[in-house]
Structure 1
Amino acid sequence: MKKFYIIFVCIVLVLAIGGISYYKHQKRMEVKEEQRVEQLNQEAKTIEKSVDQGEYTKTSTLLKNPKIGEIQPYSQYDFHLIKDELKSAIQLQNLFNKGEYKEYLSQYNLNPIQESHLDSYAKDHYVTSVSELLKNGSNQEKMALGDLINYEYLSLGDANKIREEITIASAIEYYNEGNLEEITYITADPESEGTVVEGIYHVVEAKLSQQQGAPADTISLDLVKVPEFATLPEPFNSVYVKLMNQYEDTEDFEIAKQVVEESEAKEGLPSRPAIGMTADEVRSIWGIPTDVNRTETVNGVSEQWVYTNGYVYLDNGVVTAIQD
C-alpha cells in the first residue's frame, strides 16, 4: 500500500512540474508573440510615417523588408499599391524639388497618383507648381498654362482661382494684340459674376460698342454692370476710368442704372403671383393690370385684376384667387 502511495505522489509531482513548465512555456510564447506583434506594429507605423511625410526614398527601402507580408496586416495602408506607385512619386518629387514645375505638371498628367496615400503630397505639389508658374510667368506663359493644367486634379476653389488668373492674363495679352472680340469670348462666363473677369467683360463690351458707334445707353449699360468692388487690372482700369469720365454724368447713364437696379430687384421673384401675396407683390411680378374691376362690400373691397395671361382676385389688397 505504501508503495502505491509513493508511486501516486511521484506521478502527481511529475504532472505538477510538467504543468508548471507548460504554463511557463505558454507565458513565454505569449510574451514573445506580444513582442513580435508590437515590433510589427512599430515597423508598420514607421512605413506609414515615411509615406505621410513624403519620404518616398525611405519608404521604398522600408518596403523591401522581407517581413513586409507579416507587417501588412498591421497597417491601414495598402503596401502593394504604394509600392506600385513609388517610382512615379519619387520622380515627381525630384522634379518638384528641382523647381521644374512645368515638367511636374506634364508628368503628373501622364501618370496621376490617384489610388494610394501618396496622392496627398502629389496633389499639394501639383497646386503649388501651378501657383509658382502663375506667379513668375509672363502673360503668354500663363495663357499656355491653361492648356497644360488638368482641373480635375484641383479642388473647386483652387480651380476657380486659377482659371480666373489665367483668364485675366489672357485678356491682357489679347488687349495688347488689339483683339477685343476674343476678350469678350473668354470672359463671358456666367460663373464669373461679381468678379474681376465680369468687370473686364463689361469694360471691353463698352469699348467695342463705342468703337462700333453704338448709342450711349448701350455703352452705359455695360459700364453700370461693372462690379462695384472689382479691382480691374491695367489696361482695363484705365479704359474703364476714361469711359466713365465720358458717360457717368449723362442722362443715358442714369437710365441704365435704373434699368439694372430694377432688373436686380426682380431677380429671384416667382414667375406668377400666389395666394396670400399683396397687391404690390403682384405688380412686381406681372406689372400694372390692363384693367381692374372693383367691388365694395360690407367686408371691404374686392378686386379683379385683368392681365393678358390671367386674372388675379384680391380681397382688401391680398390675393385670394388666381385664374389663368
Structure 2
Amino acid sequence: MKMQILVVAAVSFLGIAMQSHADSFVSDATEKANKQAQKELKLREKIGIDLWADYPNGCRLGAIYEKPDTKYDVGKYTADSPKKVKVLDLIYVELPYQTTTKLDSQYWYKVEVEESKQIGYVESFYMAYLGSPRLKWCLSLDDPRKQRQAIENANKELAESHALREKKREQLAKKPGASIGMTAKQVMEKTSWGEPDSVNRTVTQHGTDEQWVYSDGGYLYFRNGKLYAIQN
C-alpha cells in the first residue's frame, strides 16, 4: 500500500514538473514574440520619412543623410549633390550567413530615390545612427532578398560538391594502393590514390618528371610516365 502511494506521488510530481517546464517554454516563446512585435512596431515608425542619399553613378553602395546639407567624405565616389529618398517599407530578411541575435540586423528599409525612382535598401541597424559618419556605405542598391537566394544557391552547390568528394573518397578507399612501376593511368584508375589535386612537372634532358600532390599530404613521383617513388 505504501509502495503504491509512493509511486502515485512520484508520478504526480513528475507530471507537475513536466507541465511547469512546458509552461516556462511557452512563456519564453511568447515573451520573445512580443519583444519582436514591439521592436518591429518601433522600426515601422520611420516608414514615410524623407532622407537624403549620396551614391555616384556606377556605384552599388552609398551614404544616407538625415539632412540635405550633410556631407561625408566618401573619397573619389563623393557625388555633387545628395538625392532625396523616401522610406517606403520595412522588410524582413534572414540572411543565411548572419550569426547575430540582434533583431534589427534582420530588418531592412526599402527606400526610393525621388528623382530617378531608383529603389535601394538600408539595414535598419544603421537608422539608429542618422547624422553619423557610420552611415557612409549603408545604402545598397541590391535587394537583400536576392543576396539571400544567391548565398543559399552557393551553399547548396558547396554541399553537393562536398558530397561528391566524399562519395569519390569512399569508392577510392576500396581500391588497393599504388605500386612502383605503375603508369599514371593505372594509378588513377586502379588504385586508392586516384587523380591528384595538382601536378608539378619538370622537363629535363633525361625526360619528364612529375610530382603528383594530394590534399591529404601524399605525393607520387613519376619519371617518363612510370611511378618511381611514393611519399605518404
Q: TM-score, normalised by structure 1?
A: 0.25
Structure with greater proportional strand content: 2
Bigger CA radius of gyration = 1
Q: TM-score, normalised by structure 2?
A: 0.31
